[in-house]
Structure formats: structure tokens, C-alpha cells
Amino acid sequence: MTSNDRGANTHNYGGVWGNVNSNNVNQYNFQGPTINVTVQHLEAARKVAQHQPRRDPASAVGRASELSALKSELEHHPCVAITGVGGIGKSTLAAMLGADSAAYTHRCWRNLSESATDFSTFIQAALATLGLSFDPREMPQPSEQAEHLAQILHDNPDVRLLIVLDNFESTIAQDGSLALGWRELLDHAAHNFGPSRLLITSRELPLLPQGQEPRHFSLSGLSLTDGLALLRQLGVTAGPADLATTITRSGGHPLALRFLADLITNEDYTLAQLLHEPIWDERNVERLLDKIYQTLALDQQQTLSYFSLFDRPTTPDTISGTLANLPDPPQGWNEQTIRRHATTLTARSLLDNAADRYTIHPIVRAYAYDLLGDAAPYHAAAASYFQQKYHRTHTDAHSHPALNLADMEPLLDAYAHLLAAEEYDTAANLLYGTPLEYMSGDKGVALYELLERWSDLSRSPTMLEHLANAPTGTLNDSYRAVTLGNLGSSYYNMGEYDKAIDYHARHLELATKIGDIAGQSHALGNLGITYRSLRDYDKATKYHTHQLELAQQMGDIQDQANSLDNLGLAYDRWGEYHKAIDYFTRTLELAQQMGDIQGQTKALGNLGIAYHRLGEYPQAIYFHSRYLELARQIGDQRGQANAIGNLGSTYDALGQYPEALNYYQQARAIFKRIGANQFVALTDENIARTQRQMAQAASS
């Protein structure tokens, strides 16, 4: 799919609410495109898998004093961070707290090292723990999502939710900053969570302003008593002096002690021999791991490396399916063989197993992955396997489309593996060019468009950054241009306007270089929209005027309508309502010329709002009524609610409160029916205010 087919939307970035007159009426200012989705479809999109701790806390040994101290910290501090080196037991201690404490009514565990984890999905999981659903399309900015969760927890003191964010270092950038949403979450957790608590585990802490830092709980190795108990449980017997020396030299590192016990139990080593080995330094865990690896059979070594390809719990059939997709598949490898080797590796503390889903510790994964050699063919094979897995249940994009994010997880896994294989063009084709469903007119809808539909916004930058910054010559320029534009749109939706401008400017530069006029138009439109949001209306109108000139040069009526609409919106925000009306009128004329009913409804709504702002209420009512008529004609429930709500706002401004209340109640019913809960709440504000005004009028 070329950049002519797939660019960031230049109509607008969606509807917004704002106070538009002296009465502070919440007006239904939906000036962007809307999507008609059934309630059932929305509920399907909200489903999110809950994570579980990697290791059963019941198998943990010791840490009683640390657990008691951690409980005390959480009693006095709402946000606590367990820090320590890899493998020291941070996750285990957090899991022990969640399993043992009776202080919480609900618990939510998220492993942030898994590739499918992002801020929007975390918010969905946290709210699902409380029995609440959440649609990110109603609240796309991560900062707002963090505030939304905090508000719910603050307003419900009977809810005591424990949130554990494991491997939090995955959200920290190289410069120490936090990815979108997480910074605001920590701030809210420190001040607005009520009796609920946030516990994070991390190898490092982010750089945060004073007052936003979580309470620091540093975890070191096992105590002598706990270390002795672990060695006894693992079957290590020796003199007290040697055992104490072992714990001291290992720093009480639980993983080091497990590896040492494995060498004694499964190989011909004694503790005395190992104490004389040159392995006792700050890298003792890796050195013990290397000794274990050298004792493994070749097939077991290969199995460990195969599991290192995956960053989430993996089943033997995933490994066998991956191997089967290699150009020269190895012989004798099947699901049963892999499971047998995985069972041995689990017994030797190299894997963890829960319900035939195997997890590899980050330290072990890094070691085994390095020994794999050229991993690209394996990642490409894994990508093929995951695509086959998707198509086994979605055999035809017409009759078996993807219904929710969970449906698309195999394709997201495939995309991640294609990036790891550095097959950037293939990854881009999966993202933009492979239809997963068909809309009316037989228009194919690809993976990225579905992610946009379900507003998995905080995942988008992570998915797109690697593609946009692929080495020169490894990605088609058209795909790179599209990706730059989509990154700009993603950052815009998350309120990161400086980043949005940077990526849209790069999109414009590349589109100009390759002679892609449609791409230039998209980039100009999105730059104009971003500057409009920054209230730099002079720049906004200049970019949109250039956008219009290109659209006219191409003879593209739809793009001309987009450009005129954007100019109208910019002048509307600038307070130049007569100019805005002129551009919206021209937009309406082009939409009528094309037979674009959706475009007509949008233009009619914008005209109604502009006339409302001029105080020309009869004209506003006329255009909102036409908007409502067309929305009903095409079955656009969201559009109907918008038009009805705007009619209520106009009658409210006229002081005709019974009529306004009637329209507000009709709008509320539709918003409620389609699951637009944010707008239900805002409509409730309008209803309550109108009722107060009616009561005041009656008493005067």
C-alpha cells in the first residue's frame, strides 16, 4: 500500500468538548470523523488479558523480614518501587505481597517487559480488575487516562486496589525519562489513589521531579538464614562454614544459589570445588549459568536458545511452529521433543513453567540469545508462524475479520519478529497492506487502521519508531513516509505536539523528495492541525492554504474538501467566524458534489456551531437540524447524538430550557446506548445545569 492510500487523517483528529458561550454550555463540538460501532463490538474491543506473576510465590523461601518491611512502607506510602539487580527477587517479593496481604480488595499485575503491554492496555486491565470497561477512543491521551484511573480510585475509598507493575525499567528511556502516561501515573499514585497502592519493580528508577518519585525500597540478596534455607530446600548439604561462604560470595543472589545447587545436584560438582572456581565476582550469576549451559546436551542448548527468541510466556507448539517455518527446518523437532527438553530446563532453573507456558528469566534470555548466532532467520520464521496462527481462525477477511485487539495479537507478534529480523518492508506491508476486514465498497482495512479504530494509541509510537528509523535502503520510501505521518498523528493524539510537528515535518520533507504530492498534502494538513491545537492560527492557516493549493493541483476533490474544512476549523478557533462559515460552506458544496453524506453531516455540524458562536441561533438550529436529518438517513447514531446535543445547546443559549432539556435527554440516551460514557457524563452536566436554570426561572 502506498502513501497515497494510507496517510494520517487530515480532516481532524476527532471531536472535542469546549465551553463555547457565556453560559458555559458543554457543546457537542464533534468536528472530526466519527466511527459507527455497535455496543457488542465495543465490548469485544475492551477485552484485555490479565497477567500473572512469573513464579508462584508459594515456592519462595525466606524474605519474611523484607515482606514485613514492604508492607509497612505501603501502609505509609501509596507508591513504592522495589529496586535491585536482575534476578535478586524483586518480582517474587511483589508476588508474595499480593498473595499474602489481606489489605487489598482487588489486585492487578502487569509484566511490562511483554511486548503487548502499553499504557492504554494497562488502564483497561486495571479497570477490568474492578469490573469496569474502558474505551480509549473516548480518552486517547495517556495523561487523561492516568487521571481517570486515579479519580475512580480516589472517589471509591472502599476499593483498595493493589497494582503491581513488574519490570518497570521497560518503560524508561535511555535518557531516564518515562514513556507516555507512566510519569503521570506515578504522580497520581503518590497523591490521589486513596487507599489503593501502586508497587513497581525495576532495576532502575526514572528521572522524576522532586515530589513525584516513588518511595524507594532497595532489595539486596538473601540473608544468611534465608540463604541457608534455600540451599537446604535445593538439596545442598555441606559444612556450615562452606555454606556461609557460598552465601556471602554470591551476595545472597537467589538465582546464583539456584544455579549453584543445580550444578551440585545434577553434575559432578561439590560445593568445595565450586568455591575454588574463578567465578565469584560481580558476574557470578552469568558465570554459573555458563557452567550449567556447558553441561547441557546440544538439543537442550538449542531449545533454550529457541525460547530466548520470545519475550513472553511461550508454548512448545510455538517453538515447533517456528522451526517448521525455517528455510531448512531441523529434523526431529516436534512439540513433544521440545516439551521434554523444556521440562528438563525447568528442573534446572533455566525456565519457569505455568500450564505449559514457559517463561525465560531476562538474564538467561540475554545469555541464550547471544549464543543463537544470526537470529534473523528464526525471527522471520516466528513471524510466519504467528501469521499462520492468525489465518487459521480468520480464514477469510470478508467473513472472518478481526473483532478486537486480542484477535490481532498473533499479527502484532509477527510484526515484532519481522522488525527483529530487519525485514522492514515486509513488516510495513503487514501493518499497512494486508487486509484484515473489508468495509462497504470492498475497501480493505489493514492492521494499523484497526489499531487506530480501537485506539491502542500508546502502543503506536513503540510499533512505529523502529520502522520510521530503519536503516537507509532497508525500507521503501513510501512506507517510511507513511510511518512518519502516522507517528506524528499518534503523538498528536497523545498531546505530544512538539514530537508531532517533528514527525509531520519529516513526512513533508520525504514526501517532497519522492514527489508524493498526496503525501505532501497529508503532511501539510496535519502540520496545520497541530499548530491549530497550539493556537498558532497564522501558521495553521498557511499550512492549510498550501494544502488546498496542492489538492487543487491534483484535482483531488476529496482533498480539497479536507483542506477547506481545515481552514474553516482554523478560522473558527481564531474567532474569525464569518471566514469559517465561508470555508465550511465550500466544504459542504464539495461534499454534496461527491455524494459524501458523512462529509455533508460534518460540514453541517460545523456550520451550526459557527452560527451558534456568532449568536445567530436560528441559523444554527437550521444547520443542526439538517445534520440530524442526514445522520438519521445513514444510521449514524453518534452523529445523531452530536446533532441533538448541539440543538440542546442552541435552545439552552436561547433560554428555551424545556426544549434544551428534551434534546439533552435524547442525546444522553443515544450516548449511553453506544457506550460513549465520557459524553454521557458531560451531557449529565448540561442536564443538571439546565434543570437548575429552569428552577430559578420558575421561582423568579
Which grid coordinates belong to 210? 522532586
Note whether 488 and 500 are within 8 A (CB). Answer: yes
Smallest CA-to-CA distance from 597 within 566, 555, 628 is with 628
For residue 79, give the 3-state DSSP assignment.
strand
pLDDT surpassing 60 at residue 256: yes
Which grid coordinates belong to 479? 512506507
DSSP H helices in 51-131: 64-76, 90-100, 119-129
Note whether 484 and 507 are within 8 A (CB). Answer: yes
Smallest CA-to-CA distance from 616 within 135, 118, 21, 146 is with 21
Q: How far apart, in whole angstroms, are the C-alpha atoms of residue 432 and residue 440?
A: 18
pTM (2 d.p.): 0.76
Q: Under 8 Å CB-to-CB from 613, ≥6 apart: which residues?
A: 20, 21, 572, 577
Q: Under 8 Å CB-to-CB from 89, ≥6 apart: which residues?
A: 60, 63, 219, 222, 254
Note whether 78 and 193 are within 8 A (CB). Answer: yes
Region 630-658: what's the mean pLDDT? 92
Q: What percentage of the chain exceeds 70 in pLDDT?
A: 89
Residue with more model confidence, 247 or 103: 247
Give the CA angle between residues 62, 65, 68 to the nearest 5°: 115
DSSP H helices in 536-676: 537-554, 557-574, 577-594, 597-613, 617-633, 637-653, 657-673
Which grid coordinates belong to 391? 489465518
Using a 10 angstrom Cβ sphere, with 0-12 exposed, 13-18 middle and 19 or more buried, the burial of residue 203 is: middle
Note whether 6 and 482 are within 8 A (CB). Answer: yes
pLDDT surpassing 60 at residue 145: yes
Residue 312: per-residue pLDDT? 83
Q: How far apart, in whole angstroms, are the C-alpha atoms of residue 80 and residue 126?
A: 17
Smallest CA-to-CA distance from 136 within 493, 544, 498 is with 493
Which grid coordinates belong to 336? 513433544
Instruction: Write b or e for each residue in 320-353: b if 16 or more Cβ atoms lie within 10 A of its Cβ, otherwise e.
Output: bbbbebeeeeeeebeeeebbebbebbeebbbbbe
Q: What is the pLDDT of residues 152-163, one digit of tens each?
A: 998 888 889 999
Note whether 641 and 671 are within 8 A (CB). Answer: yes
Place of cell 521440562: 343
Confidence of residue 336 (pLDDT cuts 50, 70, 90): very high
DSSP 487-511: HHHHHHHTT-HHHHHHHHHHHHHHH
Residue 457: per-residue pLDDT? 57
Q: How far apart, in whole angstroms, are the C-alpha atoms of residue 218 and residue 212?
A: 18
Residue with more model confidence, 9 or 320: 320
pLDDT surpassing 70 at residue 24: no
Tally Cβ neighbours within 10 Å of residue 286. Answer: 18
Note whether 529 and 10 are within 8 A (CB). Answer: yes
DSSP H helices in 267-394: 271-275, 284-295, 298-307, 316-324, 335-347, 362-370, 376-393
Tally Cβ neighbours within 10 Å of residue 106. Answer: 14
Q: What is the pLDDT of residues 476-517, one digit of tens each?
A: 999 999 999 999 988 888 788 999 999 999 999 999 999 999
pLDDT surpassing 80 at residue 447: yes
Residue 227: per-residue pLDDT? 93
Q: What is the pLDDT of residues 184-228, one digit of tens each?
A: 898 888 888 889 999 999 988 887 766 667 889 999 999 999 999
Region 327-355: what's the mean pLDDT? 92
Residue 671: per-residue pLDDT? 87
Question: 340-344 long-range CB contacts below 8 Å, 24 or more apart?
Answer: 341/299, 341/300, 341/303, 342/303, 342/307, 342/316, 344/300
Q: Under 8 Å CB-to-CB from 501, ≥6 apart: which residues?
A: 488, 527, 530, 531
Confidence of residue 16 (pLDDT cuts 50, 70, 90): very low
Q: Please tell me the chain's helix, strand, coil percentages from 3-state DSSP, rounded to the nearest 5.
A: 60, 5, 30
Q: How far apart, in whole angstroms, are the C-alpha atoms of residue 338 and residue 324?
A: 13
Q: How far apart, in whole angstroms, are the C-alpha atoms of residue 680 and residue 146?
A: 20
From the DSSP assignment, how many helices (H) and strands (E) are in the chain? 31, 11
